[in-house]
Amino acid sequence: MKVFTDRLVTSVEVLEAALRWAIEQRMHVVNLSLGTDNPEHRRRMTRIAALAARKRILIAASSPPGRTDMLPAALDRIFGVAASDDCSWSQYREVAGDPIRLRAHPSPRPLPGLDQSRNYRGHSFASAHLSALLALLIQDDPRMDSEQVRERVGRCVGDPLPLRQP
């Protein structure tokens, strides 16, 4: 669902409506390569994160590391992720004590004919990589709730995608 205007701006009301729509549609994973540091939005984002968790919807949200104020990434029920050059394509890292606990690769997969150094990179791509991992984990075991997925992600840290074998 598109939440940004052509000027790349949106409102918390539009973001909340989009998240509610995703929850109503029973999406398994929501990727948010966005955030706000407006403290007035904390209560709304906390409520929507709780609703998503109750409905077993996983939300990955990007943020720079160390940001306790970046919403929704810094919330407990959200899979907050920042970019890290220390992560290979299929590796994830956990940083204890950081409100944005997870790290993932900062770049998209290479595109044919485009020098990778000319491609975009950053926290948004880390969120996309983490969202892919969350989707694979849910596909691997659809009965998992948010906490079980969080434990499973913790076991993925440093290792390439340890999924169950068929």
Average pLDDT, the chain: 87
- Kindly report, residue by residue over 19-32, the tens digit of the pLDDT: 999 999 999 999 99
> Residue 5: inside a domain, yes or no?
no
Among the listed ranges 51-55, 112-116, 138-142, 158-162, which one has the minimum average pLDDT value? 158-162
> Residue 4: inside a domain, yes or no?
no
- Burial environment of residue 159 by CB neighbours within 10 A (0 to 12, 13 to 18, 19 or more): exposed
> Residue 164: inside a domain, yes or no?
no
> Residue 133: inside a domain, yes or no?
yes
Q: What is the C-alpha separation between 88 and 42, in angstroms, rounded?
A: 32
CA-nearest of 13, 27, 78, 20 to 49 is 78
CATH code: domain of residue 31:
3.40.50.200
How much is the pTM?
0.87
Q: What is the C-alpha separation between 93 and 154, in angstroms, rounded?
A: 8
Angle at 98 between CA 105 and CA 93, to 5 degrees: 30
Phi, psi of 92 (to 5 degrees): -135, 150
> Residue 55: inside a domain, yes or no?
yes
More confident residue, 78 or 112: 78
> Residue 1: inside a domain, yes or no?
no
Q: CB of 73 within 8 A of CB of 80?
A: yes
- Kindly report, residue by residue over 34-56, the tens digit of the pLDDT: 999 999 999 999 999 999 999 99
Query: Residue 28 is part of which domain span?
Result: 12-108+120-156
**Pairing relationship of beta strands 102-104 and 79-83 according to DSSP bridges:** parallel
The pLDDT-based confidence of 135 (bands split at 50, 70, 90) is very high
Phi, psi of 17 (to 5 degrees): -60, -40
More confident residue, 18 or 94: 18
The whole-number pLDDT of residue 166 equals 40
> Residue 78: inside a domain, yes or no?
yes
Q: How many domains does the chain have?
A: 1
